[in-house]
Structure 1
């Protein structure tokens, strides 16, 4: 490469994270950070990198959008027949990573994923833009296709089928809710002496213990 990647560096100076300011519940801090990311107009503040594990034990990552945070659970929607859906059907362990470069912050989450109810998936599906609903019905997500023309033809044909009618959610599309067991908050600091705090869910499943990690 013509660019020397080893020389690309950035000093992090925007903020800090003190232990005395940490709430007992990490979800309280996450909500605060997410609200600040939205208010700061961070690009795609709800984008989250999802990590799953294949039956062979290999990791796989992709990006989705967080669509709800309720009762301490992180909710996103996808095609259940996609690669991540196939992985989660075999192994529900999952990781979520939020990266807000503009705020020099990251949040890394590990937990267990399970499908939300059909009713909840139906309710969310109805709020999606019309074209997104059609796309969800025709896309064989993660499967090979011959060309973009193929998928566009499927889209046009499916859109014609639903003219004047409410587009129904396909059974292979819906939501997952992630129950977190570990949540790490990362705040960039000068000289690479970053602030890192890890919350771990305790055996009672209702309380959290936190500790500072070395940067």
Structure 2
């Protein structure tokens, strides 16, 4: 077998990495922002939904594992108000264990079709059990059974073993309406300390406006792109 390098082998990769996209002229100026960053986020989230962004409430959650290693994954935002950004998971999962060890976390909302991004940084704390109960009760039955069957992030021997556990739970709750919430499953709410709104613009002259929590509300500053 020849050791010669095929010059065409990496061309598709080079094309993808070298692609340039003009982000357009849509701007983000201070005068157009809501005074409250949560309100501004709600505006952008609604606009992302109206303009057809796929899963606009999907966000990348970055955490710090108990051993200090960073990790990230995509989760779904399930609530946002003046208290913060709420999502739900298995507290025994990797992200759950990470947040119990190190509450500091970050959320990234990458709305690529709109050339927009929001980064939220703060601390995530468990929500009260009654909030987790209310959200659990509103989930589709299949999702509740899956949540009860799966110990998220923990190893399992095979896909068949996972399917067997799901079937076991279906049988266990076949004749009852309610699938009880496992104690390990519940919500976290990230209380924001910093929220950055990013709007892509032509020639990399992007707009970056950052809200930082202060004693009397929020301060606002513009960052260089």
Unaligned runs of 5+ in 1: none
Aligned partners of 2:19 and 2:138: how far apart in 1?
42
The residue matched to 1:181 in structure 2 has which SS? strand
Q: TM-score, normalised by structure 2?
A: 0.92
Task: Please report how far the alpha carbon of residue 121 of structure 1 lies from its aligned counterpart in structure 2 after TM superposition.
Answer: 0.4
8 Å CA contact 1:14, 1:103 repeated in 2: no
2:119 equivalent to 1:108: yes
8 Å CA contact 1:94, 1:113 repeated in 2: yes
Task: Please report how far the alpha carbon of residue 41 of structure 1 lies from its aligned counterpart in structure 2 after TM superposition.
Answer: 1.6
In structure 2, the residue matched to 1:213 is 223
In structure 2, the residue matched to 1:179 is 191
The residue matched to 2:11 in structure 1 has which SS? coil
2:54 equivalent to 1:54: no
Task: Please report how far the alpha carbon of residue 71 of structure 1 lies from its aligned counterpart in structure 2 after TM superposition.
Answer: 2.4
Q: How many equivalent pairs are there?
A: 213
In structure 1, the residue matched to 2:82 is 71
2:85 equivalent to 1:80: no
Runs of 4+ in 1 over 3 A off after TM superposition: none
1:142-157 alignment runs, 5 A limit? 142-157=153-168
2:179 equivalent to 1:164: no
Q: TM-score, normalised by structure 1?
A: 0.96
2:11 equivalent to 1:2: yes
Tell which structure's C-alpha radius of gyration is larger. Answer: 2
Unaligned runs of 5+ in 2: 1-9
8 Å CA contact 1:12, 1:190 repeated in 2: yes
2:36 to 9, 12, 25: 25
Aligned partners of 1:129 and 1:19: how far apart in 2?
41
1:197 to 197, 202, 209: 209
8 Å CA contact 2:109, 2:118 repeated in 1: yes
Aligned partners of 1:197 and 1:37: how far apart in 2?
18
Aligned partners of 1:116 and 1:168: how far apart in 2?
18
Q: CA RMSD in A?
A: 1.1
8 Å CA contact 1:197, 1:213 repeated in 2: yes
